[in-house]
Amino acid sequence: MNDTPISAADRHRKATELLPWYVNGTLGADETAWIEAHLAQCPECQKELAFERGMHANLPESAPLPDADAGWAAMLERMQEAPVPVPADEPAAPSGHGNVVALRPRTFLRRPIPLGWAMAAQAAAIVLMVGGSQLGLVRSSGEHEYHALASPSQTGAANMLVMFQPDLREADLRRILLSNRAELIGGPNASGAYQLRFAPGTLTGAMTRLRADPRVTMAQPIDGDGR
Amino acid sequence: MVAFETLYRIYHPRLARFLMRIASRQHIIEDVINETMMVVWQKADAFNGQSKLSTWIFAIAYRTAMKSLRRNGEPMEDKEANERASEDASPEDEVAREHRRALLTSAMKALSADHRTVIELTYFHEMGYREISEIMDCPVDTVKTRMFHARRHLRRCLPGSAPDWL
């Protein structure tokens, strides 16, 4: 033991603080190695570790969970009564605009757009989230099974979600895909979003071109690592 | 809408589990879940992917729950539960695991909502301290300190030595 009494106390306090996250396995490699070294020579922390493991294993279940079906039914009612989705950094459309709302799904979409399209764009953002869930970015509860809404194809994962003007002709869509060397992986889904795959190294350039194209209303990379 | 329903159903049990530890009234829990998911629906485009999706949604749920608790006047801390736990903590109880769980439940209720949140996110949802600090919008050291004090409180309320838990 080369530690001075003070530094030993500090190390002990630090180890005690970190123990819960050592037990739940979320510490990084460095902290894990550090705490294991401390545990090896600290009987007090070893006792504390046993307590922590007991806590972790015995945390009582709460009462039965509320019913998700009933919750979803209430949610639907609530959504019908709620105002149209408006981003936090965007003031709501002034009244008297009928079914037009100022919606800005991303910085590249700044014009007032029809309500239906606004909802579709909002839904596309949700699709991205669910896609993330299906790709393992969200731990599933294990109580439900869902089919993937934005899951990768067998040949290669989509790396961008793209939406086009609703009246875009098929020939134009094809030209956009070819000129950007994009591969169609899936879609359109219910929101009108297509899952595309771009060759490695071309993604950023393609995204810039697509976002500059007035026929494209959304071009959002699908982030594979969940960060 | 199908995608949102999917997201809703993925998160409903997780948020319910989390919120039941913070708030006790059923109608508040259901209300907070739907208020949280309404924010997710309305601000989906504001999610910039800098944090994990679960962190973002749990942070909304935490803020919504705290507001709701204040609005509804629900006690953030149950002093009576603390006393119940202390009174019950006699050596005779050491062998009864179920009784221990009851004590633990009672001891948990005596904690503040912030302390319960840290315990719940760590032990049940198995989150790291950085993620918890993002959800609670507080420094990492505050998370560690809250956990430290929460554990000390729980230990005080529970009889027996550590190996009895195993």
Per-residue confidence (pLDDT) for residue A135, from 0 to 100: 42
Using CA atoms, how far residue A13 sits from A10, A17, A49, A52, B80, in Å, is 5, 6, 13, 15, 30
- Show the CA angle centred on residue B93, arms to residues B92 and B96, nearest 5°: 130
Question: Is pLDDT of A58 > 80?
Answer: no
d(CA B154, CA B158): 6
For A73-85, how does the pLDDT look when each residue is reduced to its tens digit (9 = 90+)? 999 988 887 765 5
Question: Is pLDDT of A137 > 60?
Answer: no
Mean pLDDT of B92-112: 71
Per-residue confidence (pLDDT) for residue B124, from 0 to 100: 86
Residue of B45, B50, B133 for testing the chain A interface, max A β-carbons within 10 Å:
B45
Per-residue confidence (pLDDT) for residue A216, from 0 to 100: 86
d(CA A81, CA A69): 19
Query: Looking at CA atoms only, how far is residue A109 from chain B in angstroms?
Result: 12
* Ordered DSSP codes for A131-152: HHHHTTSS---SS-----SS--
* Joined tokens for residue A86: 């408006």
Question: Is pLDDT of A177 > 80?
Answer: yes
Query: Looking at CA atoms only, how far is residue A176 from chain B in angstroms?
Result: 24
Using CA atoms, how far residue B162 sits from A26, A47, A110, A112, A189, in Å, is 22, 6, 60, 63, 54
* Nearest neighbour of B166 by CB, restricted to A50, A106, A130: A50
User: Are residues B53 and A20, on separate chains, in Cβ contact within 8 Å?
Assistant: no
Interface size, chain A vs chain B, as Cβ–Cβ contacts under 8 Å? 193
d(CA A148, CA A194): 14
* Nearest neighbour of A87 by CB, restricted to B1, B46, B97: B46
* Joined tokens for residue B132: 């918890």
User: Are residues A60 and B17, on separate chains, in Cβ contact within 8 Å?
Assistant: no
Question: Is pLDDT of A114 > 70?
Answer: no
Residue of B1, B5, B9, B10 for testing the chain A interface, max A β-carbons within 10 Å:
B10
Burial of B87 (0-12, 13-18, 19+ CB in 10 A): exposed
Per-residue confidence (pLDDT) for residue A152, from 0 to 100: 38
Among A18-22, A223-227, B90-94, which is the least confidently predicted range?
A: A223-227
53-82 in chain A: CB under 8 A from chain B? 53-60, 62-63, 65-66, 68, 70-72, 74-75, 78-79, 82
Phi-psi region of B136 (alpha: psi -120 to 50; beta: other; left: phi over 0): alpha
Query: Looking at CA atoms only, how far is residue A168 from chain B in angstroms?
Result: 23
Burial of A225 (0-12, 13-18, 19+ CB in 10 A): exposed
Question: Is pLDDT of A223 > 70?
Answer: no
For A89-110, how does the pLDDT look when each residue is reduced to its tens digit (9 = 90+)? 444 433 333 333 333 333 333 3
Question: Whole-number mean pLDDT of chain A?
Answer: 70
Report which residue type is found at B29: I
Per-residue confidence (pLDDT) for residue A121, from 0 to 100: 62
Per-residue confidence (pLDDT) for residue B76, from 0 to 100: 54
With CA atoms as reference, the chain B residue closest to A47 would be B162
Cβ(B37)–Cβ(A79) below 8 Å: no
State whether ipTM is beyond 0.85: no
Model pTM? Answer: 0.60
Chain B residues in contact with A78 by the CB 8 A cut-off are 34, 38
Cβ(B159)–Cβ(A45) below 8 Å: no
User: Are residues B29 and A226, on separate chains, in Cβ contact within 8 Å?
Assistant: no
pLDDT tier at A140 (50, 70, 90 boundaries)?
very low
For B21-76, how does the pLDDT look when each residue is reduced to its tens digit (9 = 90+)? 888 778 889 999 999 999 998 888 788 778 888 899 999 999 999 998 888 766 55
For B107-165, how does the pLDDT look when each residue is reduced to its tens digit (9 = 90+)? 888 889 899 999 999 988 889 999 999 999 999 999 999 999 999 888 887 765 444 55
Report which residue type is found at A61: E
Per-residue confidence (pLDDT) for residue A115, from 0 to 100: 45
